[in-house]
Amino acid sequence: MLAARIRGAARLTILTGAGVSAASGVPTFRGPEGLWRQFRPEDLATPEAFARDPRLVWEWYAWRREKIAACRPNAAHDVIARWSGVRPRNGATQGSDPGTERLKVVVLTQNVDDLHVRAGTRNLVRLHGSIWELSCWNRCATGAAWRDERVPLPEPPPRCPRCGGLARPAVVWFGESLDARDVGAAVEATECDVFLTVGTSSVVYPAAGLVHRARERGAFTAEVNLDETPASSMVDLAIHGPAEEILPAL
């Protein structure tokens, strides 16, 4: 049923969360082995935590960067990348899936691991930034981020190359606003035929509000997730299972 809906769609929007990277070995936030288990979000993923103890927050991000560096995109990332119109990683010709030829796909991700980037996904909006990018804590140059994939980073905590002040992970922390351009692109993408959420607990806003907007605008809404979420009861179709198996089957 969902496959038929996608085949017949002109516009498909996919919102992903940590569950899409779980099969790659990236720990999720709220699962049994979740990142938040050892830590509490308000202790680490906030500007206040960084102001109080930048070294502790950097230790957590450095540990996550090291873990993610050893991970590769999984089948769920590859299917989403293929649907987004790029040449599948197996080299098959573009548009080899007939159903995807005319499909306009926008991928919105809450993940900061950049595995969608490494899978070659196009039209990707990274709502919460990237763990591989840094920005100046003092926002010395309009907060422009730079990429640094070194593991480990030279000297914790890393410094801003421009002003020598503290560098921070270029991610969106709790209590921080998302980039207005990303929010604009995400809201625009709720105007679609099918809105699919994959691997997210649907508790973090404003990302979690997007599926509601899509439904209000007439999209067919579906969820692929291991567990029940607050979105499960409101989407048109909720499929509970692992994304790395369900998406290839789709």
Mark 50-66 as b/e (b = at least 16 C-beta within 10 Å): beeebeebbebbbebbe
How far is the C-alpha of 131 from the C-alpha of 76, rounded, in Å? 20
Terminal CA-CA length for the chain: 10
Helix, strand, coil % over all residues of the chain, rounded to 5: 35, 20, 45
- Should residue 226 be labelled a site residue for ligand BV8 when binding is judged by CB under 6 A? yes
Shortest Å, Cβ 162 to ligand BV8: 23
Q: Which is nearer to ligand BV8, 63 or 174 (CB)?
A: 174
Size of the site for ligand BV8 (CB under 6 A): 36
Sign of dihedral through CA atoms 121, 124, 129, 135?
A: positive
Place of tokens 């914790």: 156
Q: Which is nearer to ligand BV8, 4 or 180 (CB)?
A: 180
Shortest Å, Cβ 143 to ligand BV8: 15
Shortest Å, Cβ 204 to ligand BV8: 4
Task: Lay out the site mask for ligand BV8 across 45-64 (x = CB under 6 A, - = otherwise).
Answer: x-------------------
Selected from 24, 28, 84, 100, the binder of ligand BV8 by CB under 6 A is: 28
Query: In Å, how far are 12, 99, 105 from 5, measured between CA atoms?
Result: 10, 10, 14
Residues involved in catalysis: 128
List residues binding ligand BV8 (CB under 6 A).
17-19, 22-23, 28-31, 34, 45, 110-112, 128, 171-177, 199-201, 203-206, 225-227, 229, 242-244
